[in-house]
Amino acid sequence: MRIFLQAPVTEDRPPRYYQLFIQEDLLGGWSLVRQWGYQGGQVTVQREYHECREDAELAMTRYRDTQLKRGFRVVFAQGEEAPR
């Protein structure tokens, strides 16, 4: 599952983005990966471990909703029951 969000473009800066995706690890757990920054610039990446997929999806939805409140828009969503 993957969600890509982008902030409205301003004339003085490159567009900001925020990306969320879920990956299964080799031990049966799930990682929620959050990546954000300016397009073409330095990137920040953080990973969160979750024991089950449902917990990772819940966390993903919380982060998505937080970014939507900050003015980001969902540009791309992919995966099973991709949240929009």
| pLDDT tens track for 3-53 | 999 998 888 888 999 999 999 999 889 999 999 999 989 999 999 999 999
CATH number for the domain including 9?
2.20.140.10
Q: Is the pLDDT of residue 66 over 70?
A: yes
Q: What pLDDT is recorded for position 80?
A: 64
Indicate the pTM of the whole model: 0.86
Cα atoms found within 13 Å of the Cα of residue 74, Cβ hemisphere only: 16
Tokens representing 40?
A: 């073409």
- For residue 64, give its domain range: 2-78
The tally of domains found in the chain comes to: 1
Q: Is residue 84 part of a domain?
A: no
Q: How far apart are CA 10 and CA 43, in angstroms?
A: 19
Q: Is residue 24 part of a domain?
A: yes
